[in-house]
Each structure stands twice: as structure tokens, then as C-alpha cells.
Structure 1
């Protein structure tokens, strides 16, 4: 008798499972297929992206080789193509190198424009954009006004900014060139007083503070390392 009940129970469960499968089976299969397709598509996209990045890397190395061989115009043209259609981080790297090549050839205006273009790119990390701003400001240190340089990188000189040492040095030199000794002293003193300033920056700032004191007819500032 127990065997009969067990068989009936199994038949009922089988029938219930069959009804559920008839109702939801196609959806289960569809979702499973969709997951497989999405996974395959994502892996395919990853492979394509990696391949493209590798190809762009080869093009970038070839362009740098042209520059190293003194073929600057050809290098700039090759880098320009990477800038336009390269993948990954290579377009930004190409623009940096284009700016370097233009600066080396005396085209300061073109180099500054290239650095400005990096900072204007969407989705460029802030640190990278700020580096481009600094590189442009360095090229303009001998020609731009203190006001223009302050407009470009003044915020980078603020306490806590990772680029503050470089920005303060650029602005300090510009202020010294413009004979704004008060502003120059402020920037170089901030470098000396900042415990995170590098030794090179500290030394240059001390030299500039001595020059400022000499220009003002005052005793030179003492090196904090002396005594």
C-alpha cells in the first residue's frame, strides 16, 4: 500500500514540475542564454580592447623612435594619429609627447596649446590635467604675466595640493622676474617652511630668498639647516 502512495506522490510532484516548467521553462532558458551571450560579449570586448591597446602601444613606441632619431615632424604626425584614434591612455601620452616635441623645436605656443588640450579632455584624471597645466606654465614662466600664471595654476599652490611645491616655485620665479618681491618671498618662504618640500626645491627657494634679500638690501636669510 505504501508503494502505491509513494508512486501517486511522485506522479503529483512530476505533474506539478511539468506545469511549472511549461510555464517558466522558456524564461529560464532565455535568461541562461542571455547570460552566456553577455559573458561572451564582454570577454570579446576585453580581448578587442587589449589588442587595440597593444597595437597603439606599438605605434607609440615607433613614434618615440622617430623623435629619438631626430625626425621630429614625422614623430609629431605619428603621435597626432594616436591622439586622434588611439586607445587606452595612449592618446593623452601622445599629446604630452607632442607638446614636448613642439617645445623642443621652439614652438612654445603650439606646446602650450597641446597641454591645454590635455586639461580640456573629458574624463582626464585631475592629477594628469594639473600636470599639463604645470607644464604649460613652465613654458610661459619667462613671458607670461604673474596674473596670467596665477590664473592658470594659482589654485595648485594651495596648502595640501600635491603639485603645490612646483606651482609655488613657478609663481615665485614669475613674481621675482616681475620685481614683485613681496609675492616672490611669500612663495619661496612657503616652500622652505613646508616639511614635505623636496631637498632640491628647498635649496632653490633658499637661493631665491637670498637674492630677494640682496635686491632689497637686507641681510640674506639664514639656511634653516645651519646652526
Structure 2
């Protein structure tokens, strides 16, 4: 029997809060990226936003939710390589989506293309994480649930990218982050509801138990969140950016006279 909440419903609020926090930080970083005048600086801040959205808002939520996934009388282990790959995939596809809409002129066509690419990538992240599972039972995913999960991922990614490029008010961003967290959780559990067992296997198991990954993942997540929060808190305000630009313009205007 498959159980998605083997620790009770504790993993559900934790996954939601982590996802909402990562999404909010990503939106705040994306707002700062929009304020950059140069392409190089904008790319740097977009990558930080992708790290927050894809790494914390999406992948960590997936990891926390998977802690509650168990199968009666079955042993589950996780391949470290595929697990890390799924995390990198989440950050990479979100970064690509943000770069598509964040560089050059914004358009609806670019948004839809970025949403499609990012959504499919997020779904691929989920199923890569599932492929990391080694068990003494065989697992399969029902096609209908896979299609539904991909559709939710594309829709959520498109809305998330639109919000990342439109919202200005911080209060609105936290509300949007809650909506994004709901969408990410809906994607995960929709996909997981399609998991079925098809029999046993005699292949030797390898990989780590999920319980053994909790401490290192919790430590890494805490460090990343503290870094992102520090970055957001120290981001210059629009007034400070305008002052910096005026000073730069004055310095450039004074240079010919100094020669």
C-alpha cells in the first residue's frame, strides 16, 4: 500500500512554507533584476532568482514531500546522483525561463514559450527525482496523471514567470508566493497520485535512505535560505540605485576635464 503521508500531515505544511518562502524570495530578486540597467547585472540577479524559485521554491518542496512517501513492506532508497541532477534541473529550467522573458523586449509570445519550456522542465525534474528511487517493488506512473502534472506545471510556470516580471509591491509578492506554493504542491501530489506498484524485483538495492538525507538537506536548505534572505535584505532600494546612477553619470562627465 502506498502512503504519501507516512509522518502524518506534518510534511504538507512544511513543504508549503518552504515553497512559499523560496517563491517570495525569487519574486523579490526578480524585481531587483528588472531594475538593472545593464544586461550583465540583470543576468546575475535572474540566476539568483532562479536559485530561489527553482531550488528552494520547487525542488526542496519536492524533497520534503517525498519524505512522507512510503510503500508497505517495501524498502525505498534514493540514488544521490539522480537526486542532485533533479535539483540542478529545477534551477536550470527556471533560469532559462527567466532569461527568456528577462532579456530583450518582453512579449506574450516569449512568456508562453518560456512557460512551456519551464513547465515541461519542472515536470521532468519531478520524474527525474522519482527515477532516483530504488526499491524492491516496481513502480510505474499512470499516463493520465503524468499528463495532468505536466499541464499543471506548464500553467504554474507561466503564471510564475508572469508574476516575476510584473509584480512590484512586496505585499503582493507574498500573496503570489502563496499561490505559487499551492500550485507546486498540487503538481507534486497530482503526479504522486498516479504512482502504482506493479510487482517485486530481485535487483540489489543501492542509494541512501530518505531519513539519512534529512539532516544534510535541512542544513543546506537553512544555509541557502539565510544567504537568499541576506541578499534580499541588502538589495539597494530604487532611490539608492538612482543615486548610484547619478553619481556614475557625474563621474563620467568629469573624466574628460580631468585628462
* Structure richer in strand, relative to its length: 2
* Structure richer in helix, relative to its length: 1
TM over 0.5: no
Give TM-score scaled by structure 1 length: 0.23
* Higher Cα radius of gyration: 1
Give TM-score scaled by structure 2 length: 0.21
